[in-house]
Amino acid sequence: MRDITLVSAFYDIGRDTYLQSLSETKTRSTETYFDYFKKLANLDNHMIIFTSAEFAETIREIRVGKKTDVIVFDLFAEFETLEKSIEQVQQAETFKQKLNQKIRFNIEYVSPRYSLLTYCKPFFLNKAVEMGLVATPQVCWIDFGYVRHDSTIWEIKHWTPNFELGKCHLFGLSEFELDSVDIPYIVYTAYDFIIGGCIVVDASMSKTLWNTANKRLWDLIDMQLVDDEQSLLLYTAKKHPVLFKIHNLSGDWFSVIRRFHQSENL
């Protein structure tokens, strides 16, 4: 077992109101996300949270007494060009026509800021490392709202997994062969192969992951393919398989923490 640093982010992209006019039922309010985060915040691991100024103090209060770095960072100013490029694809009629109409109004197809935020998970991992904030051999991206139920962390107080060094670890919902993954099919149907809520990588590999993923992201945009981080991570893994290891969660989206926890008592 070894210690690991957790990185996450929260930005208000207007998800609770953005899709109301589209009769979207999968909306979650800011309050809902903070309720989820309070459960994640029970972990004693060092956490690095990127956010905007209005949420920084609330996050600090939730994590009071625990090692936490809250970084105020203007994500949308930093990636203005990328956001505009995502929006252009989302608004293109040719793209809309290729989507399965059952998922046409999913947030990843209509909100440039949602897609941008999910695409930037490797960026946040590398940013935390480059800022000199990570002191553990590995670092884990974990979604701000990943822990929706107390059972997700299984009464674990300090998460100490033992992932193989030298790999970027992704988490699949079943066994599959990377070579058989059809990226356009995933984008047009929202079929789930992996979860995007957790990514584990060596701190020393974080720059490689971000640089590689960023190049592949612009490939996808050039191909007029945008949705969320799943397609980006899978496409990157397909192009650079030696960098990745994919673990099978057997359909349990929220099992990463308890499934891969190791302790002296085991």
Beta strands in the chain (DSSP E): 5-10, 47-51, 68-72, 138-142, 168-172, 194-202, 244-248
**201 CB-near residues (< 8 Å, 6+ apart):** 125, 138, 139, 140, 167, 168, 169, 209
The domain locations on the chain are 5-259
20 has a pLDDT exceeding 90: no
> 97-153: per-residue pLDDT in tens?
999 999 999 999 999 999 999 999 999 999 999 999 999 999 999 999 999 999 999
> 191-201: per-residue pLDDT in tens?
999 999 999 99
Other Cβ atoms less than 10 A from the Cβ of 72: the count is 12
Confidence band for 27, pLDDT divided at 50, 70 and 90: low
Torsion angle of alpha carbons 100, 103, 107, 112, nearest 10°? 0
19 has a pLDDT exceeding 60: no
Find residue 248's DSSP bridge partners.
172
Q: Do β-strands 194-202 and 244-248 pair in parallel, antiparallel, or remain unpaired?
A: unpaired
Average pLDDT of the chain is: 94
Let me know how long the chain is: 266
How much is the pLDDT for 263? 79
**CATH code matching the domain that covers 5-259, chosen among 3.30.60, 1.20.120, 3.40.50, 3.90.550:** 3.90.550
The Cα 31–Cα 13 span in angstroms is 13
Average pLDDT over residues 165-175: 97
- The three-class DSSP label of residue 50 is strand
DSSP of 207-232: HHHHHHHHHHHHHHHHTT----HHHH
In this prediction the pTM is: 0.95
Give the closest residue to 244 by CA, choosing from 170, 143, 157. 170
How much is the pLDDT for 21? 47
- The three-class DSSP label of residue 5 is strand
Q: Which residue has the higher pLDDT, 29 or 250?
A: 250
24 has a pLDDT exceeding 60: no
